[in-house]
Every structure is written in structure tokens, then in C-alpha cells.
Amino acid sequence: MDFNGSSPFPEGVISFLDTDLYKLTMQCAVLKYFADVKVTYAFKNRTPDKKLSRAAFRWLQIQINKLGNIALSLEELRFLQSTCTYLNKEYLDFLKDFRLNPREQVTASFTAKDDTGSDEDIGEVNLVVKGSWVETILYEIPLLALTSEAYFRFIDKDWIYDGQEEQAYAKGMRLLEAGCIVSEFGTRRRRDYHTQALVFRGLVKAKKEGVKNGLPGEISGTSNVHLAMRFGIPPIGTVAHEWFMGVAAITGNYETATKTALSYWVGCFGEGVLGIALTDTFGTPIFLKAFREPIPPITPTHQTSLSDGVVESETSAHGSGKTKTFAEVFTGVRQDSGDPANFVKIMREFYAKEGIKEPKTIVFSDSLNIDLCLEYKKIAEEAGFKCTFGVGTFFTNDFVHQSTGHKSTPLNIVIKLSSAAGNQAIKISDNIGKNTGDMATVEKVKKVLGYEEKVWKLGDEEHRWETDDDQVK
């Protein structure tokens, strides 16, 4: 498939694989354990100064409804079978026949600030997703990508594709020369698919140049499964906050939810498979209490019933011998909120206390740019960690206004699980700005877990990528 600046890829989202890999891995686990659980998702715009017009909203509605036309192609199925071997046959058989039903599962509304009925009216967009978890889990990434595309198609239009491939190549080369191992994580807040394809072509060019010249870094892959297939690059990803949020809401036991979620993950994929653990759904200190626990000698193989929020499962035993802890089995952790330097210190002390001497990996993924990658690399390696970087918006939504040369700032938008099995689903991050969900439930869970609120000086979610007034140097 050829990508160039003069012939953009078709608008919108046209494939189930045009998503982050961890949505597929989580859907696989949800099918195994929670196929009948009902959930809801809620949309939040962390950049409230950036709103859509009525015309943009109407385009968004059309694109959302088109998601119901998507089906897995034979080429895509074969790619998953050959590349993502951790996805079991039961799941791939399910995905072959799977269809989204946006007209029934997605409610999109628009509230104009000063309603004149005009297409130019500006207002708030609200998106709500409802249905079974296994059938709605794939909406998050396309809905976010489409909302971003709508904004930059109708509101901020003072930009062009020219130079995106070259810019990505230059960024990739700098990271490779510095010895960074980098994956592209930019699907959810990209300008559009064509931008992401141009960016990835630039990164692939840098990857080839890096190999040719023996540079110490590596472009290791992309979270976007469709681009991975098209460019012959590995898809990268494991699990998101959603998995822990859902398990906690379903079981209703936040003190044991992290251990339960980790146990289910190992039960679905096996020890050491998809082995990067996300630490900050309810705060890293809470996570580490579970992470040091031995993996239960019996782990769930599939759900048999759900009663009063308690999961009852059939089980299968591990092999004989000393039971390893989650921390021993998982190859590393992902840092997605809070102060990275403090996180490295916490993890170094944790592994030392647990007597784990083998090198572990930290994946940094929170609003990265080149300078931050280099800074965190130095901190992590000095502490004895391997490190990799998931770079998203800095790659796929880095533009300037053509008329002024000022930054064309991305939207900071999220869609999070808001309920599961009739219970509120929440996230309590290492940075207060990333907390989500019903505030009464958040406060209740904080007390139950003894959570200590964290505020990071660089954690202003409204200004993650500077402002439209910033001059690009």
C-alpha cells in the first residue's frame, strides 16, 4: 500500500486492526472470563477549550455509524494467526464473525454553546458506549481517533501533510542515535490515519538506516495492528487500565482486584507472555502489594458464573515446584502517570527488596518527546533497568499552523470504562489529573486502599502539548 502526501488514505476507520494491540488482547481475555458482563464507557475532553462544530459532529456521527460495516478480512485473520500467536483460536473464531453495532451501542450528542441551528455552532460532544464488554471493547480507539480527525478536518484546518514523513524520520534518527528502543503509540490522538501512515513510513525509513549504520537504538514496532501488518513491523502492546478497572468493578473488591486481574491475565496467556504490567490504575504502591504475591497455584481458565459481583471459575493447576511471584514472571512494568524519576526509584527499591536480580524493563509511555526519552533513559539505565518508549501524540499529531508557524495543539481526549456489571468503574492514577470515574466511588476506594494523592508538577492534562500560541522553534 502506497502512502503519500497528495493521495490521503480514506477518511475514518476502516479496519478492526486500526486499533491498539492491547484492545485485541483484552478482548481475548474478556471473551474467556467476562463475555456476558455489561459495561458502559464515558468520553472526557481534557482540553475543554477545543470543541467541535455542528458540522464536525455530523461528520463524526456518520463515521461512527460506518464502524458497523467493518469485518475482519482473510488477510487480517492470517496476520493475527501468524504474528499474534498468543491470541487463542476461540478468540480468533469469534473475531472472524464479529460486528460492531454502533446504532445500538453508541450514543453521540452535541450541545451548542449558542445554538443558532447553524453548522458553524460550536459546542460540547458527548459519547457514551453501552453493551456487553466483549462487544464494546473495540470502540475506544476508533472513537477517539475519529473525534480528533473531526476537529482537525473542520475546526483547526490551517495545516498540511507536507513534511510529516521527513519530520518523523528525523525524530527516529535522533532516538536511534541516542540508543533508545521506541515504539509508535499514536493511534488514539492522531490527526488522521494518513498522518499516522506517513509518520510510520518515516520511522521505518529511520529503522532501516539505523540498521545499515549500526546505530544503537531500535524502532521496535507500533501499537497500531493495521500499520504493523502493512509495514511488516511487530505490533506492540499488552494491557490497559481498562482490564484492572473492569475486574475491580465486577468483583467489587478493590483490595484484591489487582491480584485477581493479574491472575486472570496469566491464566489467559500464560506465564511470561504479554509480560509488561501496567502499574497505576489504583496507584503504583497498591499495585506493588499484589505484584509481590505468588501466582496462585490455581488460576482461572474460564468464567462459569457471575453472582453478586463475585467471579466463580473453573481452574487448572500450575506445574509442581516453587511458585513464582508476579514480579518474577512479568518481564517489566509500564509507567504511564506521575513522576518517572520517582517511579524508577520505587521500582528499583521494590525489585531489590524482592531479591529479583535479573534485569527488568520499564516502558515509558506518558506524553513523551525526544528530550524526555533521553532523560528517562539515563535515569532508568543508571538504576539498572532496561527501558523502552511508547511515543504517541508527539509522532502522530505534531503540526504547526501554516499561517503563523505556531503550534497546532492536539486534543487531549480519553474514553474510559465507567461501569461494569452495574458497578462504577474508576481509575486512581499516580497523577490526580488522570483520575477518572464517579467521584464518590473514587473517594470511597481511596479510603479503602489507603491511597495517598499524588500531584506531579508536569501533570497538567489541559496543556500536555503546549498551546496554540507557542511559537515552534
Closest CA to 53 of 123, 148, 116, 158: 123
**Grid coordinates in use for 109?**
450528542
Q: Check residue 466 and give its pLDDT.
A: 63
431/279: higher pLDDT: 279
| Comparison of pLDDT for 143 and 466, the residue scoring more | 143
Tens digit of each residue's pLDDT (9 = 90 or more) over 17-68: 999 999 999 999 999 999 999 999 999 999 999 999 999 999 999 999 999 9
352-377 mean pLDDT: 96
Asked if residue 165 lies in contact with residue 134, where contact means CB atoms within 8 angstroms, the answer is: no
CB 9 within 8 A of CB 383: no
For 373-412, the pLDDT digits (tens) are 999 999 999 999 999 999 999 999 999 999 999 999 999 9
Q: Is the pLDDT of residue 319 over 90?
A: no
Question: Average pLDDT of 443-462?
Answer: 75
224 has which bridge partners?
20
For residues 190-206, average pLDDT: 96
97-131 tens-digit pLDDT: 999 999 999 999 999 999 999 999 999 999 999 99
Given a cut of 50, whether residue 347 has pLDDT beyond it is yes
DSSP 228-267: HHHHT--B-----HHHHHHHHHHH--TTTHHHHHHHHHHH
Q: Exposed (0-12), middle (13-18) or buried (19+): which is 453, by Cβ within 10 Å?
A: exposed
Q: Is the pTM of this model over 0.85?
A: yes
Longest CA pairwise span in the chain (Å):
71
Query: What average pLDDT does range 156-170 have in this prediction?
Result: 97
- Give CB contacts under 8 A, 24+ apart, made by 246-249: 246/30, 246/34, 246/37, 246/39, 246/133, 246/417, 246/420, 246/425, 248/281, 248/282, 248/425, 248/426, 249/417, 249/419, 249/420, 249/421, 249/423, 249/424, 249/425, 249/426
For residue 213, the model assigns a pLDDT of 97
CA distance 146 to 59: 9
- Mean pLDDT computed over 179-202: 96
CATH classification (class only), 1-7+15-473:
alpha beta
- Higher-pLDDT residue of 333 and 315 is 333
| pLDDT at res. 140 | 98
Q: What is the CA radius of gyration of the chain?
A: 22
DSSP 3-state of 79: helix
pLDDT at 430: 83
CA distance 143 to 18: 11
Return the pLDDT at 301.
Answer: 47
pLDDT band at 318 (very low <50, low <70, confident <90, very high): very low
